[in-house]
Amino acid sequence: MHNRRSFMLGATAGAAALGLAACGGEGAGSGGPDPEADPSELTVGVAMPTQTYERWVKDGENIKAGLEDLGYTVDMQYAEDDIPTQQQQIDQMITSGVAALLIASIDGASLSSQLDAAAAAGIPVIAYDRLLTDSENVDFYVTFDNYEVGVNQANSLLYGLGLVDDSFEPAGDAPEGPLNIELFAGSLDDNNAHLFWEGAIDTLQPYFDDGTLAVPSEQMDIEQAATQRWEQETAQKRMENLLTTHYNGGEELDGVLAPADPLSRGIINALQNAGLGPTIEEGLPVVTGQDAEIASIKLIADGVQSSTIFKDTRDLAEQAIIATEAYLQGEEPEANDTETYENGVKVVPSYLLEVQMVLQENYEEVMVDSGYYTAEQVESGQL
Ligand code: BGC
């Protein structure tokens, strides 16, 4: 659809200016880690949601390696998207006396009693990528600029549809529309899903308002668009249903807002099974994504998936380790956002990282030249 050309990613990649602010936060409860302790005497508990998403596997590997390099022992557990399993794993970590907890939750509101127990034992708790909600006993949060993820997803959709140019300004040769799109969101119990959605809808709203974009299914609420537990199969089924119900009379579907790569691939499967594509050039609707998973980077290289959002999990792991170490040395980690992440009880001091849009025009530069993937991995679509 678009020629290979130099691409102005700077325009959206780092739209949020992240000024460093003095850190807030109250630190862990009574007791707390002994700042005199040698790392070799301390274990850090790391609770991860699932291994079905490639990113969480990479996050886990990076966190474990980084903490072990510093001399800590790591107790890392994956809960395979089962909430009671994650609760038990964290209970177990607290009982065994971990010095700090890093938690990427399945359902951000489901761990209150574990967080209470951690606070009572003086164990600092850092929410990893996903906010822990409805509890005052979360000390710090490391994540990406989640609203900006949604803005980038919407901008990449608008770009793929030819409505904006490569500076994300209205395109001179933009199609008049209305162009038909469908909207997908993530799991409602993940606070991130709401921020991705808000960033995307805020960006698309003017195009809905002036009639350039239409959603034929009229499913425009996050509840209607949500994908419980971020499951690929669920997204694929919903896409199949949307096609059968709303596109059975020759209506054209031009694009799909998809919030994560596995969902994007499920949606693309449904579209291709319905005879669309197989590539964008051959009529496949433009589908967005997130996480820059290797299989999706290959699809982008092959002109099948339109875009994804790269969130460098190496940097997130590094920030999580810096924050953990600060607590273990009796200090407060440095936050760069002390306003955004209200968790229902308090604003959690946060460290936000920037994200980057990936398209066919820049995947080599962003994903390969940066050393995140090798050219061979992209070629094969496997790690
Ligand atoms: C993460 C995304 C991920 C999604 C599904 C979100 O909380 O921020 O990177 O795609 O969960 O695992």
The predicted pLDDT at position 32 comes to 67
- Secondary structure (DSSP) of 36-71: TS-GGG-EEEEEE--SSSHHHHHHHHHHHHHHHHTT
Which residue has the least CA distance to atom 6 on ligand 1? 192
Non-local CB neighbours of 168 within 8 Å, separated by 6+ positions: 8, 11, 12, 155, 158, 159
Peptide bond into 49 cis (omega under 30): no
pLDDT given at position 8 = 41
Residue 18 clears pLDDT 80, i.e. is over it: no
Which runs of E-coded beta strand occur in the chain? 43-48, 73-78, 100-103, 125-128, 140-144, 179-183, 213-214, 255-257, 286-287, 307-310, 350-353, 356-359
The answer as to CATH 3.40.50.2300 being correct for domain 20-143+313-354 is yes
pLDDT the model gives residue 298: 98
Pick the CATH number of 146-311+360-368+373-380 from 3.40.50.1170, 3.40.50.970, 3.40.50.2300, 3.30.1490.20: 3.40.50.2300
CA distance linking residue 101 with residue 115, whole number of Å? 10
Instruction: State which ligand 1 atom lies nearest to the alpha carbon of 53.
Output: 12
Please tell me the total number of residues recorded for the chain in this structure: 383
* Cis status, amide bond into 216, omega within 30 of 0: no
At 79 the pLDDT is 98
Residue 128: CB atoms within 10 Å: 30
Q: Which atom of ligand 1 is nearest the CA belonging to 261?
A: 10
DSSP 365: I
Nearest CA to ligand 1 atom 12: 53
pLDDT over threshold 50, residue 49? yes
For the CA of 49, the closest atom of ligand 1 is 12
At 19 the pLDDT is: 32
Q: At 3, is the pLDDT very low, low, confident or very high (cuts 50, 70, 90)?
A: very low
Distance from the alpha carbon of residue 260 to the mean position of ligand 1, in angstroms: 7
Question: Which of 81, 129, 146, when mutated, tests ligand 1's pocket best, judged by the most ligand atoms within 8 Å of its CB?
Answer: 129
pLDDT in tens, 252-280: 999 999 999 999 999 999 999 999 999 99
| Residue range 354-380, pLDDT digits in tens | 999 999 999 999 999 999 999 999 999
- Asked if residues 78 and 53 have their Cβ atoms less than 8 Å apart, the reply is no
- Residue of 52, 53, 196 to test ligand 1 pocket, by largest number of atoms within 8 Å of CB: 53
- 311 Cα nearest atom in ligand 1: 9
pLDDT of residue 366: 97
Q: What is the pLDDT of residues 123-143, one digit of tens each?
A: 999 999 999 999 999 999 999
Residue 176 Cα, ligand 1 centroid: separation in angstroms?
A: 34
Which of these ranges, 3-17, 84-98, 146-160, 172-186, has the smallest mean pLDDT?
Answer: 3-17
Share the mean pLDDT of the chain. 92
Phi first, then psi: what are they for 45, rounded to 5°?
Answer: -90, 130
- Tell which residue, 236, 130, 259, has the closest CA to residue 186: 259
For ligand 1, atom 9, the nearest C-alpha belongs to 291
The vertex-334 CA angle with 328 and 338, nearest 5°, equals 125
Yes or no: say if 129 and 175 are a contact pair by the CB < 8 Å rule. Answer: no
* Best CA proximity match to 343, nearest among 88, 137, 78: 137
> Mean pLDDT throughout 94-103?
97
Q: Give the CA-trace dihedral at 219, 223, 225, 230, to 10 degrees.
A: -170
Cα of 104 vs centre of ligand 1, distance in Å, is 10
CB 267 within 8 A of CB 239: yes
Domain ranges for the chain: 20-143+313-354, 146-311+360-368+373-380
pLDDT of residue 31: 56
> What residues does ligand 1 touch, defined as CB less than 6 Å away?
53, 55, 129-130, 186, 190, 192, 230, 260, 290-291, 311
CA of 55, closest atom in ligand 1: 9
Q: What mean pLDDT do residues 89-118 have?
A: 98
Asked whether residue 150 carries a pLDDT value surpassing 50, the answer given is: yes
3-class SS of residue 337: strand
How many angstroms is it from 378 CA to the middle of ligand 1?
21
CA nearest 225: which of 233, 234, 307? 234
Other C-beta atoms lying within 10 Å of the C-beta of residue 294: 19
Q: And the tokens for 161?
A: 């549809």
Residue 113 has pLDDT above 50, yes or no: yes
Distance 184 CA to ligand 1 centre (A): 14
Spatial separation of the C-alpha atoms in residues 338 and 22, rounded to whole Å: 9
Task: Pick from 55, 56, 195, 353 the residue to mutate for probing ligand 1's pocket: most ligand atoms within 8 Å of its CB.
Answer: 55
What pLDDT, on the 0 to 100 scale, is given for residue 357? 98
pLDDT of residue 25: 37
User: pLDDT confidence of 177, banded at 50, 70, 90?
Assistant: confident
The single residue listed with the structure tokens 């409805």 is 134
Residue 57 has φ and ψ, to the nearest 5°, of: -70, -45
Distance 164 CA to ligand 1 centre (A): 27
Residue type, 73: T
Angle of CA points 152, 158, 163, to nearest 5°: 145
Q: Whose CA is nearest to atom 5 of ligand 1?
A: 230
- Which is the closest atom of ligand 1 to the Cα of 146? 8
